[in-house]
Amino acid sequence: MDLLWKLLFSSMPTTDPNSDHERFTRLLLESEPVMLRSILVTVPHRADAREILQETAVALWRQFETYDPARPFLNWAMGFSRIETRRFLARESRRAQLSEQAMAALEHEMPHSADFDNALESHLATCLGKLNEKAHRLITGYYHEGHSPEILSEREGRTVEAIYKTIQRARRDLQACIEQQLAKELA
Amino acid sequence: MTDSIDWQALIEKHLDGQTSEEEAATLSDRIVNDAEVRAEYLKAARLHGALGDETLAVDLEMTPFTAPKPKKDRDLRPFSRPQQLAAALVAGAFVGLMGAGVVWAVSTPKSEASFVPIANGAFEAVAGPVEMGFPTEVGDWSGDPAEVVTEPDGNQMLRFLETANVTGDPNGGASACNVFQIIDLSSLQKEWGTDNADAQVTLELSARFRREAAPSDAELPKLAGGLTIHLYQAEPESIGKAWPDVIRDAVALGSKTIKLDPGDESATLSASCILAPEATIALISVNANTRIPTKTPITLGGYYVDDVQLTVIKQPTFPVRFVK
């Protein structure tokens, strides 16, 4: 749990710490990865997506008493995250956004990509291991160290374009690798 | 996705936050109206999201880099003394940074690499059709319709002829032409000490692919060459009986594909996997895959493969971790 989550939870009213608060925390933590990945589909910038997730968590907590435990928490929560995503996009214009219709089409399609999502979870680490050293280093630098292609270009002594192409190629290799694993599983 | 815009590139550009308003609008329209672009976007976005996932950082740190590719025309031997020392110094630099001593690095086990014998890996032994059906024993190629052909200069290579279902199941998928070989790993396991925690042993399968023009090219826009390596703890004859469900029981696997256009320069592809201590056999395959979901065989003809090699590589495990 990162610092923001800790702050969020510490600021929550704990009317009944042994039931609602703990139950909410557990449900939220279980759903957080799926929610974040869903938000990232329409808001690819990770910091923006995290901000939406935090707003969603606050909204969920405020409405938690209306949650019906007989229903899946994730389904309930996803409705909130869609609303918070729209709110965020309405007030932010830092990056070009997809249209409302495109976002709706993607959200409608998401459940149908479950096979790929499962394969992604199962095989991404393995597929990363098959990248060559240079691509692996750049993917790590770009995604986990948060460096821009410009910084990576200086570090690697290559042009920005070459860096970006290598990252693109690595992502395509990864996608192909995962699809291949999936095809084998479905064969 | 047949028009002039490279939708995949545009999708990636958007996911990287680099699209203009106009480009985002173009992409949006396409996402609404084209199911294929929508599906591609979702896959790319899921991958993008997963790659940034903090929990994956652990896997990235633990995942070994792909072993260096051996040169085909070089007899592979243990690294020379200067190379061992260089590796030790690199390890020492990392270990030193992490607070341990340099002495450990000097006594690091040496890196070694050696070819693993493959029956007829260069396809030079015999020309003609490859045996049909799934291999039941160690020692030669068999699989879907393929033949070994001889080039004008005398070189021989494998040509993929037709997709098929290797088990003969008429209701099974027949989207690819696969040619397999089973390799016994028992002596390799003993020789290379894979249960030694101080070293990591990997198997790297490589092959050279080439594509020439063929009459069916226009109908096969996604045709790709590929190779796979699966490791099993099983008897050779049991793999074919349980194929393809047995894939789930693989103790390690690696695969790679390449998409060549007719007339492109030949390209060498390699796939690696860790040699798991419990693995008793390796199932290697080379293939041409149409990526068309079909139960009906499709005529191929343009894809060739040559110089299939399997290399075992033992490297000391360096405690290198990325620090944010």
Per residue in B181-234, pLDDT (tens digit) is 999 998 888 887 766 666 778 898 999 999 999 998 888 887 889 998 989 999
Q: Which residues of B touch A117 (CB under 8 A)?
A: 46
pLDDT in tens, A53-78: 888 988 898 888 898 888 889 889 99
Of the candidates A20, A153, A175, which has an alpha carbon nearest to the alpha carbon of residue B8?
A: A175
A132, B64 contact by CB (below 8 A)? no
> By mean pLDDT, which of A139-148, B105-114, B235-244 is the weakest?
B105-114
pLDDT at A120: 81
pLDDT of residue B37: 94
Place of tokens 């990162």: A2
pLDDT digits (tens, 9 = 90+) for B255-281: 788 888 888 888 888 888 888 888 999
CB pairs under 8 A between A and B: 159
Residue B235, pLDDT score: 92
Shortest CA distance from B203: residue in chain A: A130
The 10s digit of each residue's pLDDT in B30-72 is 999 999 999 999 999 999 988 876 545 444 443 433 333 333 3
Q: Which two tokens stand for residue B232?
A: 């099993």
Q: What is the distance between the alpha carbons of residues B199 and B192, in angstroms, rounded to a whole number?
A: 10
CB B271 within 8 A of CB B252: no
Of the ranges A95-104, B106-115, B135-144, B299-308, which one carries the lowest mean pLDDT score? B106-115
Under DSSP, the state recorded for B110 is P
Q: Report the residue of A3, A172, A174, A182 to disrupt the B interface, i.e. the one with the largest count of B CBs within 10 Å.
A: A172
CA dihedral A93, A97, A100, A101 (to 10 degrees): 160
Nearest by CB to B50, from A37, A113, A145: name it.
A37
pLDDT band at B83 (very low <50, low <70, confident <90, very high): very low
Q: Which of B11, B21, B32, B46 should we substitute to test contact with A (largest number of A Cβ atoms within 10 Å)?
A: B46
In this prediction, residues B145-151 reach a mean pLDDT of: 93
Cα–Cα distance for residue pair B163/B158, rounded to 1 Å = 14
Q: What is the mean pLDDT of residues B168-186?
A: 89
The per-residue DSSP string of B194-261 comes to: TT-TTEEEEEEEEEEEEE---TTGGG-TT-EEEEEEEEESS-HHHHHHHTTGGGGG-SEEEEEEE---
Sorting pLDDT into bands at 50, 70 and 90, what band is B110? Answer: low
Provide the strand spans (E) within chain B: 112-116, 128-129, 131-132, 142-143, 146-150, 156-160, 176-184, 199-211, 224-232, 252-258, 267-274, 281-289, 303-316
Q: Which of A49, A105, A176 sits opposite B31 (nearest CB)?
A: A105
CA distance A70 to chain B (A): 29
**What per-residue confidence (pLDDT) applies to B60?**
44
pLDDT tens readout for residues A101-120: 999 999 888 877 777 777 78
Q: Rounded CA gap, B203 and B222, in Å? A: 28
Q: What is the mean pLDDT of residues B164-175?
A: 84
- pLDDT on residue A114: 73
pLDDT, residue B103, reads 26
pLDDT for residue B317:
54
Contact A96 B12 (CB under 8 A): no
SS3 label, residue A104: helix
B257 versus B81: the higher-pLDDT residue is B257
3-state percent helix, strand, coil for chain A, nearest multiple of 5 = 80, 0, 20
Amino acid sitting at position B283: L
Please check whether residue A67 is in contact with residue A117, taking contact to mean a CB–CB distance below 8 angstroms: no
| Residues in chain B, overall count | 324
Cβ neighbours of B46 in A, within 8 Å? 37, 41, 113, 116-117, 120
Q: Are B241 and B169 in contact (CB under 8 A)?
A: no
User: Would strands B128-129 and B146-150 be described as parallel, antiparallel, or unpaired?
Assistant: antiparallel
Expressed in percent and rounded to 5, the helix, strand and coil fractions of chain B are 25, 30, 45
Strand B281-289, strand B224-232: pairing: antiparallel
Residue B2's pLDDT is: 47
Q: Which candidate in B22, B26, B32, B274 is best for mutational testing of the A interface (most A CBs within 10 A)?
A: B32
Q: Does B285 touch chain A (CB under 8 A)?
A: no
State mean pLDDT over A164-177. Answer: 92
Q: Residue A182: how many CA atoms within 13 Å on its side-chain side? A: 18
Give residues 135 to 194 of B whose Cβ lies within 8 Å of A: 172-173
Share of chain A above pLDDT 90, in %: 19
> What pLDDT, on a 0 to 100 scale, did the predictor assign at position B198?
66
Residue A81: what residue type? Answer: S
For residue B293, is pLDDT > 90?
no
Report ipTM (2 d.p.).
0.82
